[in-house]
Amino acid sequence: MTSHAEFGERTPGSEVAKVFGDHIRGKTILVTGVSPKGIGASTALALASQQPAMLILASRTPSKVDEVGRQILAEHPTTRLEIVPLDLGSQQSVRAAATSIAQLTPHLDLLINNAGVVVTSRHATPEGIEQQFGTNHIGPFLLTNLLLPLLRAAARAPSAVPGATRVVSLSSAGHRLSPIRFSDYNFAPREVPPEEDHFRPLAGAFAKCTPDGYNGIVTYAQSKTANILFTLSLQRGLAGEGITAYSLHPGSIETELSRNQDEELNAQFSKVALYWKTVDEGCSTTLVAATDPALNDINGLYLVDCQFKDPAPHASDPVSAERLWKLSEELVGQKFDFTATA
């Protein structure tokens, strides 16, 4: 249970931040993926309104994140704001960003893995990983693990409240459209066992493939399932260390996420979205997941409209979570064993 059952679809994030202001003030907070029209920007603005000790924005396009930075400083001039370049689609960039962040602060109270991308044609990261899986899951997997020493330092501080140190990862309701295709995570596409294949039942624009057989809906859905399974692994691995983790669907918000979608695909999304949130409403679930003290004790995995909701069974299966963790370690070439690095 969250502490505010009345928070829902239309609750503005700025209001959530005010209600939980005591749990933002004095905290060191990192938000990824911050561009003027997106959820990252509204999240950062809401957090800045409650005087965090330091707000770090890690993002890909300097001109965009700088614009949000200027807006934050105009509205909240006393904010200690830091901007770090981060391309989650490049493991080299993720490692460089983690090093820069560790130079800015020895501890991190809140990590908000907000950044995400949607593509509708085949691209790969420099490491040869399908772009959405690489950017939306592998990048945040690596970043979070590299920043775990900072999160642990925050959780071990004498003043720390157990469970208030958090990792929050933005997934999507779209995760329901695909489990992890362990036999074909790059979407070659290859034949996969039935339990890995939700592709066949898709219809209309969702089912369309490019001439080289790529389907961006399935690969986005897979990456968003990965966000929830990763959160499950963090919850299990970090239990007892005072660090909690949550995933969420922010709602349907008109941002630049759809920049690569064609009209047919946009029309199909419009049919499934019952209500389009403002960007302020679009950050409220993130803020509940990050700051509600009722979530210091883990009592759920995934939130929608500021409340807990069950994710698809394929996104909450501990065996798949463990398999994904091992695959992710292979793809970043580094092991992250909770006990070994504690």
* Secondary structure element (H or E) that encloses residue 304, with its range: strand 302-304
Site for ligand NAP contains 27 (CB under 6 A)? no
Q: How far is the CB of 177 from ligand NAP (least distance, A)?
A: 12
Q: How far is residue 339 CA from its own chain's centroid?
A: 24
Window contacting ligand NAP (CB under 6 A); options: 74-82, 83-91, 211-219, 309-317: 83-91
* Among 44, 49, 81, 87, contact with ligand NAP (rule: CB under 6 A): 87
Nearer to ligand NAP, 216 or 242 (CB): 216
Residues with Cβ < 8 Å from 60, sequence gap 6 or more? Answer: 33, 85, 86, 87, 88, 115
- 220 annotated active-site: yes
Terminal CA-CA length for the chain: 29
Site for ligand NAP contains 34 (CB under 6 A)? yes
Scan residues 143-172 and list those touching ligand NAP (CB under 6 A).
Answer: 170, 172
Q: How far is the CB of 90 from ligand NAP (least distance, A)?
A: 7
Site for ligand NAP contains 101 (CB under 6 A)? no
Scan residues 273-332 and list those touching ligand NAP (CB under 6 A).
Answer: none
* Among 17, 115, 226, 290, contact with ligand NAP (rule: CB under 6 A): 115
Give dist(CA 197, CA 178) in Å, integer. 7
Going from the C-alpha of 213 to that of each of 41, 183, 188, 209, 218, the distances in angstroms are 35, 16, 7, 5, 12
Residues with Cβ < 8 Å from 76, sequence gap 6 or more? Answer: 48, 49, 51
Binding residues for ligand NAP (CB under 6 A): 33-35, 37-40, 59-61, 64, 86-89, 114-117, 135, 170, 172, 249-250, 252-253, 255-257
